[in-house]
Structure 1
Amino acid sequence: MKTDIALKDKSILKNFTKYSLSNVLGMVGLSCYILADTFFIANGVGADGLAALNLAIPIYSFIHGCGLMLGIGGVTKYSIYKSQKSEHKANSIFTNTIYLALLISLIFMLLGYFYSEGLAHILGADSKIFAMTNTYLKVMLLFTPLFIVNEILICFVRNDSKPRLSMTAMLVGSLSNIILDYIFIFEFKMGMLGAVLATGVSPIISMIVISVHFIKKNNSFYLVKIKLKLSKIKTIFSLGLPSLITELSAGVVMIVFNLIILRLEGNTGVAAYGVIANIALVVNAMFVGIAQGIQPLITKAYGKSEKEVINKTLKYALITMLGLAIVIYITTATFADSITLLFNSDGNPKLQEIAITGLRLYFTSGIFAGFNIIISMYFTSTDNPAPAQLISLIRGFFLIIPLAFILSRAFGIIGVWITFPLTEAMVAITVALFLTKNCKRLIQNAKKN
């Protein structure tokens, strides 16, 4: 009996490692789309380019959020249907997800074509950086279908028992972005246009890698002849909403922080925040990678009522997150000066000072943020999106924005940096209460059975 339990535990750990490690690497690669732009723009265009990029990044967060919402929302219900052997229902979810992707992409493209200049003004671009901000926004929005469809395919391929292929697609896409950034910015002297073109082309390369799954006919999901159904749309939106809120809130928070920092420290402060925000994208991607890695495992186990698999997978995720958060903080605090120098090609002493302080304060949030992200995904994966939605709203809008204004008024730029860790810590307490209540519900259900 003990041998059987040990073998089962080993199997759960093996699957967790396979899915989460692959997805962490892939998500880090995906997040490097913007980080690569940050590095090459900082060194090829300068601090003004970095400030322009930081004003435009929130819109990328919106696009990325829509892709994640459709991908996670669609694939969660798809996996539940698949585990219950409902093939047609599963593929109707995939088809509706693609329909929605095309519809949402059209809205973003129209916004980019007709209103990119107005958007640049709203985001706070002054005359010095307006042209660069507008260029980045317009081109990025026109590439929206590629970003969103790529996100969806990565989610579905991962859930189709191919986590390594989805990881490879994300990493190859990111590597191509880095190479194209260098070619377009330094060799072709294309500046901001080169940076955004490199970012826009990268998902094409990622999808070429993913196409192997279809060419070899390994896919168990495919398009079917159906109409767009309201019930399916509601399901996809409901399950994917926490992912959308997380990304949307990241964009809104970045806009709010940019406006506050512009008032406090001007364009140099925004450029310094750009360094922190873009490193935060990669750090956040690691936690999201763990969360998305456990999603297929927990969803499949939920569909089969395997509570032990769910609990142990969650346990491994939280232990991994804790170790990762500690390493990240020690690294960013110890090497804050060197990290900032990578993005401070002009040697601006004010930028250096602001960014170093920010790095050391901002990333004290790691453990709390990672905990919140993973538990939110746990609720979504068990077809219980309401707590996940509430968690995302609290940490993304209801708490962090008021705190940002209050703390920046009281403590200046230091108040901005401590807003994020304080918010995540307060939300983590709420999340722990949700989790305790959910565990009691599972125990009561087990006793009834």
Structure 2
Amino acid sequence: MAKITSDELGQEPIGKLLVKQAVPASIGILVMSLNVLVDSIFVGNWIGSIAIAAINVVLPVSFFIAALGMAIGIGGSSIISRALGANNRGKALKTFGNQITLTLLVTITMVALGLYYVDSLIPAFGGKGSIFEPAKIYYTIILYGVPFLALCMMGNSVIRAEGKPRFAMIAMIIPSVGNLLMDYIFIYVFDWGMQGAAWATTVGYLLCFLYVFYFFLSDNSELKIDVSHFGLDRSILREIGSLGFVTLARQAVTSIVYLLMNNILFNLGGEAMVAVYAIIGRMLMFALFPVFGVTQGFLPIAGYNYGAIKYDRVKESIYTAIKYAALVATLVFVVLMIFPSEIASLFLSNRPELSAEEIATNNFVLQHTPLAMRLVFAATPIIAIQLIGAAYFQAIGKAIPALLLTLTRQGFFFIPLILVLPNFMGEIGVWLSFCIADVLSTVVTGIFLRKEIKSELS
């Protein structure tokens, strides 16, 4: 098989190239999303619905630390894509070395802080009442594996920047398959409960790290770094930081959203209402996997061609990515509108030995999830404009507009809405906030993107 090089990003037809980049990314995200989905189904059926709520409480903390690796990865990958497009391989190598050093320093520090403040963080994120103990068990074990996850997320972005989507896809599949296999062994066979769920996830992270480590040591990677590349360079760190901060800010806001949502919903309906949001959260990760896949596939194409000053190809990649993403988003919308009850029932146990409290919780979840799901995903067909628009500015190295557009949905619109609407509309106000924020952020991003195309790419 001929060796794949990054040069193809600037040569192949955009439509074909986007499919080649987006399909592996979509498959990888699908498997990771299925992992979260099936993991939740296993936990819900084998441990209980409170266990799903406990995991949902832990996610924002562990995801934020892992997002540090993703932020460093995406920020550095934008530099690498443009450097490869401009044939500046030295800068690409130095950037990659700095990414590794920075990821290790930051994530290990954050894990230490996360373990030290464990008893304060869990209640703050909604881990109250019967949720606290299982959440603490899961949280403590998960944090040990988060540095490996951060390195995987960083490495995955760099693999994609090299134009190697198939290897990036495999890196995303490995932890998911490993986690599900370990779920069966640790939870079902060994009956380890929450500890089993946590160790299964941690083992998956480790397997992913080993694969990414192998990739960069093998002949498949163009980035062969040495010790000199690990020394931190201020100018590169500044550029990684400005671009990576976009991703980090998005995840930080996501963690704040989880914090607010878990507490608001707990006050509205207790642990059962948090369980409803846990199911909605899983579907937000899972259902939109093809849209996120198109976005991930678009990033290296736009970045490489912008660095190579091929602006017609950049513009074509924007329009093609929006078209593809909008199509798959509409298909997702149709499925979720038709089958919300059937989807919710997958997460709930029907074991005959369920207690009266567990049965009552399951009934509550089944009654409240369908309407919530329809409202949350009501604006799904139009979100492609917002996602691709924000990704474009990040791909070409324009950190400020990328940051502002990334924060429009959750930061500027969604958080104010969930702080206000539930006071007047209760539970409905929470779910309605999602689609209103989607519409407003899409309009704003569309205006910025149209202006950019006319002024910079024409």
After TM superposition, the structure 1 = structure 2 runs for residues 134-145 of structure 1, keeping only pairs within 5 Å, are 134-145=136-147
Aligned equivalent of 2:376 = 362
For residue 269 of structure 1, report the CA deviation from its aligned partner. Answer: 0.5
Distance (Å, rounded) in 2 between the aligned partners of 1:146 and 1:338: 35
1:108, 1:142 within 8 Å by CA — same for their partners in 2? no
User: More displaced, 244-253 or 404-413?
Assistant: 244-253
1:309 equivalent in structure 2: 313
Instruction: Identify the residue that residue 427 of structure 1 maps to in structure 2.
Output: 441
Deviation string, structure 1 residues 238-274 (Cα, Å, up to 9, x no partner): 1122222222222211211111111111110100111
Q: Give the 3 Å change call, closer, same or farther, for CA 144–211 of structure 1 in structure 2.
A: closer
- The partner residue of 2:275 within 254, 262, 271 is 271
Please list every run of 5 or more consecutive structure 1 residues that lacks an aligned counterpart in the other structure. 1-7
- Kept after mapping to 2: 8 A contact 1:242/1:376: no
- Alpha-carbon deviation of 1:284? 4.2
The answer as to whether partners of 1:177 and 1:201 remain within 8 angstroms in 2 is: yes
List runs of 5+ in structure 2 lacking aligned partners.
Answer: 1-9, 351-358
| Residue 45 of structure 2: aligned partner | 43
Counterpart residue identity of residue 349, structure 2: S
2:117 aligned counterpart, secondary structure: helix
CA-to-aligned-CA distance 1:140-193 (integer Å, 9 cap, x gap): 222121011001111111222211111122112211111111211111111111
Question: Residues 394 and 402 of structure 2 are in contact (CA less than 8 Å); yes or no, is this contact kept in structure 1?
Answer: yes
Partners of 1:369 and 1:139 in 2: CA distance: 35
Aligned to 1:5: none
Hey, what does 1:259 align to over in structure 2?
263
Shift of 1:9: 10
Letter in 1 for 2:428: I
SS at match of 2:379: helix
- Residue 350 (structure 1) aligned to one of 364, 379, 384: 364
2:384 partner letter: G
Shift of 1:215: 4.7
1:396 and 2:410 aligned: yes
Aligned length: 437
Q: How many percent of aligned residue pairs carry the same amino acid?
A: 27
| C-alpha contact 2:69 2:107 (8 A) present in aligned 1 | no
Name the SS for the 1:364 alignment partner: coil
**Which residue does 1:220 correspond to in 2?**
222
User: Letter of the aligned partner of 1:251 in structure 2?
Assistant: S
CA contact (8 A) 1:264 1:412 kept: yes
Whole-angstrom distance in 2 between the partners of 1:176 and 1:158: 22
Where in structure 2 are the equivalents of 1:280-429 lying within 5 Å? 280-346=284-350, 348-429=362-443
Deviation, 1:105, is 1.2
Are the aligned partners of 1:112 and 1:139 in contact in 2 as well (CA < 8 Å)? Answer: no
CA RMSD of aligned residues (A): 1.8
Deviation at 1:52, TM superposition (A): 0.9
Contact 2:125/2:258, CA 8 A, preserved across alignment: no
Distance 2:62 2:40 in 1: 13
CA drift at 1:19: 0.2
Which residue, 155, 163, 166 being the options, matches 2:165? 163
Q: 1-side partners of 2:254 and 2:115: how far apart?
A: 24
Q: Is the 8 A contact 2:58 2:135 kept in 1?
A: yes
Which residue of 1 is the match for residue 72 of structure 2? 70
